[in-house]
Structure 1
Amino acid sequence: MRVGAGGLLALSGLAGLVYTTIAVIHYRQVLKLSQEEFEALPAIILVKLLISTVLAVLGAYIMAGPLKVVIMPPKGRSMDIGSQRIDFISFNMRSRAMPLDIPPLQES
């Protein structure tokens, strides 16, 4: 199986995300050992996270390929008419069993 440029970008982005996750866990453990309060992540970890996310999204975008045009049939049943919508039909049937002449509540 051949892996293209998109696959390599996505794989490197995911590997970077895993590495960044491990770096955050390590940073939190160091803070616990030194008994310091967690305020924010270091800038270098945030930059690595941003780069890894961009690589993963770009790789997924390249792997998806070009968009395809949706062609509807010129005549015949459209998708809205053609679908059976079983849930809607059963809801419609149950609503017919409700009485329409409900007497008002009487106060005591």
Structure 2
Amino acid sequence: MISHPGILTALGLSVFFHTTYAVIKYRQELKLSQESFESLPASLAVELFLAIILSSTGALLLTSPMKSINMPKKGKSMDNGTLRMDFMSFNNRSKALPLDIPPLN
């Protein structure tokens, strides 16, 4: 069964496709009469705005409510809460290298 938001979305998309068809037809009429295209007629602009509002409202109402993200406390350890990557220091073998290495020629 189709829900009310689904009907709104389908109606908005059908109005959008109708507006697209009407704009294409309008442009063809302008080409036949050899006039330049300046802007859309007001009726097509209103129809396009109505299509955007209908389809956006339907799409927003179709989505389910957002759920909060909760991390289970089981997997947490004391180290995860106090882990600070900025204060980590790494001891490796680079300390054994001489500081003044001559460049290769």
* TM-score, with length taken from structure 2: 0.70
> 1:75 Cα shift?
4.2
* Equivalent position amino acid for 2:11 in 1: S
In the aligned structure 2, how far is the partner of 1:19 from the partner of 1:43? 15
Q: Does residue 56 of the first structure (1) align with residue 55 of the second (2)?
A: yes
In the aligned structure 1, how far is the partner of 2:64 from the partner of 2:42? 34
- Mapping of residues 1-108 of structure 1, within 5 Å: 2-76=1-75, 103=103
Aligned length, in residue pairs: 81
In the aligned structure 2, how far is the partner of 1:24 from the partner of 1:74? 58
SS at match of 1:17: helix
* Equivalent position amino acid for 1:10 in 2: T
> 1:69 Cα shift?
1.3
RMSD: 2.1
In the aligned structure 1, how far is the partner of 2:71 from the partner of 2:50? 40
Map of 2:97 onto structure 1: none
5+ long unaligned stretches in structure 1: 82-100
Structure ID, larger Rg: 2
5+ long unaligned stretches in structure 2: 81-100
Identical columns (%): 43
In the aligned structure 1, how far is the partner of 2:10 from the partner of 2:64? 17
Which structure 1 residue ranges, 4+ long, deviate > 6 Å from structure 2?
A: none
SS at match of 1:59: helix
* TM-score, with length taken from structure 1: 0.68
